Amino acid sequence: MINKITILVAFLAGSFTTYAQPTSGSGVTQNDLQLNTITTAVPFMSITPDSRSGGMGDAGTALSPDGNSIYWNTSLLNFAKQKSELSLSYTPWLRQLTNDIHLSYLSGYYRVNDKHSIAGALRYFSLGEITFTDPSGNVIRDDKPSEFEVTGGYAFRLSERLSIGINGKFVYSNLTGGLTVQGVNTKAGVAGASDISFSYFNDDAKIGKTSGTYTFGATINNIGNKIAYSQLGSRDFLPMNLKIGNSFNADLDKYNKLLFAFDLQKLLVPTPAIYEFDPSTNSYNLISGRTNDVGVISGMLQSFYDAPGVALKDEDGDYILNSDGSYQIKKGSKLKEELNEINIATGLEYWYNNVLAIRGGFFYEAKTKGNRQYLNFGVGFKYNMFGIDISYLASVSGRQSPLANTLRFTLRLNLDGGGKSSGGSTPKTDIDNTK
């Protein structure tokens, strides 16, 4: 049994190595690629809210369902053991920089029957107190910018092992409090968005002789309109993203369970192109890549092939032209940059007697795309109808990372009463396929 688990861990490590290393035969290394981070509006929508996934490297797309599944994968709620659950999470955010930014998250679900489930969530992000000043440094006023998101979700079970889900969201982002900047009136950003999710669940899976539950999940999140903070300002994409996850929850024996989770995550937002300013025309020339001035659906599709790669320069520092008037791009650099936009999340969760959980995980993002690389650790306790989870983030991308030492706290309430939790294990179900 232990050998089978070792093989699975090696598989996950091998998958990580495949995506983290330079493309074979391209001749392109990480050092060749320029810093080209993708930015979006309202990034608070992508912050992991709960301590369970927060203790597993942010790998949550295929975890067993709980009160936070509306964030990760709503479709999984139809496989929940409990009929309903509430969850309240609190995260002090960026404590390396300040002490008054925090994220609060209230969520829950209700399983109507074997085929239908509903869920809801409220996310509130406070940016603390900010002092606005004029160009001369004179204080205009103090303000407390904040953002919130309200989500409603529905899951429909297609068959014994398949389920789909959809969420609707309202997003409100007030960063300036209506402040007038250089004669331009600012406003709060407002957006509507949706998530779609799919899951495959097999509670009779095996790895060798080890029985357990295999879950596959896929989601596309935050599909919605662009946000603007003034009438004259640019409109920015929401943090639309694709997540594909797998997990296997091994039933080691009557008292011990061990879950492996592995996610691939990618922003579905256009990559910034390379431009060069031309003083003769007082405009910018497109060197490589594609403009991001496109619609939402076009931007999602474009995000899979618009990486600009590395534009070559001559000894004078000028971009090198091809005979057809295009610019020379280092061979293989576009593909390498596209692969660098795939983030990797892996996690482990061990449960003893459905009472005590110990978790660990790792999250990887390429250096040229934000350089978020961190280890996560967490613990969970359950007693009757109550559960509590705590997680800790340890950055490995540098001691000065603002994410370092992030703590998350989650309180879960099983509204069914004192029944045993699934303990990270999705239970068997009795739906009739012929219905």
Q: What is the largest CA-CA distance in the chain?
A: 76
- The pLDDT of residue 311: 93
Range among 5-14, 145-154, 316-325 with highest mean pLDDT value: 145-154
Q: Write phi, then psi, for 118 (nearest 5 degrees).
A: -125, 155
Q: How confident is the model at residue 3 (pLDDT cuts 50, 70, 90)?
A: very low
Q: Which segment of 117-126, 246-255, 410-419 scores lowest on mean pLDDT?
A: 410-419
- How far from the centroid of its chain's Cα atoms is residue 179's Cα? 31
Q: How confident is the model at residue 278 (pLDDT cuts 50, 70, 90)?
A: confident
2-272+294-304+330-414 CATH: 2.40.160.40
pLDDT digits (tens, 9 = 90+) for 161-211: 999 999 999 999 999 888 877 778 889 999 999 999 999 999 999 998 899
Residue 289 near residue 281, CB atoms below 8 Å? no
- The pLDDT of residue 16: 35
Q: Of 116, 109, 117, 112, whose CA–CA distance to 71 is shortest? A: 109
Mean of pLDDT values over 209-231:
94
pLDDT digits (tens, 9 = 90+) for 369-427: 999 999 999 999 999 899 999 999 998 876 577 888 999 999 999 988 644 444 444 44
- How far from the centroid of its chain's Cα atoms is residue 328's Cα? 34
pLDDT digits (tens, 9 = 90+) for 17-72: 333 333 334 456 656 678 999 999 999 999 999 999 999 999 999 999 999 999 99
Contacts of 210 (CB under 8 A, 6+ apart): 1, 4, 5, 250, 251, 252
Q: How confident is the model at residue 95 (pLDDT cuts 50, 70, 90)?
A: confident
Residue 12 has pLDDT above 50, yes or no: no
- The pLDDT of residue 31: 63
Q: How far is CA 363 from CA 150, 239, 379, 417, 428, in A?
A: 27, 18, 18, 35, 30
Tell me the C-alpha distance between 87 and 167, whole Å: 18
Mean of pLDDT values over 246-263:
96
- The pLDDT of residue 267: 97
How is the chain split into domains, by residue range? 2-272+294-304+330-414
Mean of pLDDT values over 249-265:
96
Q: Which segment of 26-40, 112-126, 339-353 scores lowest on mean pLDDT?
A: 26-40
Question: What is the model's pTM?
Answer: 0.86
- Side chain identity, residue 240: M
- The pLDDT of residue 177: 83
Residue 79 has pLDDT above 60, yes or no: yes
- The pLDDT of residue 423: 45
- The pLDDT of residue 60: 95
- The pLDDT of residue 158: 97
Mean of pLDDT values over 83-112:
94
